[in-house]
Amino acid sequence: QKEVEQNSGPLSVPEGAIASLNCTYSDRVSQSFFWYRQYSGKSPELIMSIYSNGDKEDGRFTAQLNKASQYVSLLIRDSQPSDSATYLCAVGSPGGNNRLAFGKGNQVVVIP
Amino acid sequence: GAVVSQHPSRVICKSGTSVKIECRSLDFQATTMFWYRQFPKQSLMLMATSNEGSKATYEQGVEKDKFLINHASLTLSTLTVTSAHPEDSSFYICSASAGRNQPQHFGDGTRLSIL
């Protein structure tokens, strides 16, 4: 089983709609969870950090964490064409070496 | 806050040249810095992890004599691609973390093209 899985294929959403991305992880003792956005040809950019169960909102982004079920999700409200990118789920390694395990990413395309 | 600067952004050079890439955390002290490589339309691939003042930890399959990493201070790490060949052409990205359970902040990346 991969450490971090993002299984859905490319996600197309109309402008103004909600984009929903899901991620599961295998290490039950993981404590830190992140979402990164990566535009084509650019490096990843941190958009959300979450450490506790529940929801965390930042602008149009909401991260949701459920440690019991080992999943973390990202909602993008009022999707804009500028949100079109690949979104990477990352989980902190409990081993203390500050490493992150990344999912393969989900491509989001917002259609004007 | 949490700005990571990476230079140069693009390098084009002849086969056999050694190329040095710098990664600096501008507004925080990075206990750990990371070097990744990414080929087009593929996932990030971790090459090595470096901590200030100690030897880098390389991932399996990454040649440490080929990819020299120096982490001289809490704000600077360098990656030197020695005797680069066309197969080393890729997008190299550094990141820095302020500590345990902290996010990694990425530099803008270096696009390396070896002719």
pLDDT digits (tens, 9 = 90+) for A44-96: 999 999 999 999 999 999 999 999 999 999 999 999 999 999 999 999 987 76
- A23 inside 8 A of chain B by CB: no
Tokens for B27? 């507004």
pLDDT grade for A1, boundaries at 50, 70 and 90: low
- Measured between beta carbons, the chain B residues lying within 8 angstroms of A36 are 106
> In what side-by-side order are the strands of the sheet with B19-25?
B4-7, B19-25, B76-81, B67-73
Residue % of chain A over a pLDDT of 90: 87
Closest-approach residue (CA) in chain B for A101 = B46
Confidence of residue A9 (pLDDT cuts 50, 70, 90): confident
The low-confidence residues of chain B, meaning pLDDT below 70, are none
Selected for mutation to probe chain B from A98, A104, A106 (highest B CB count within 10 Å) is: A98
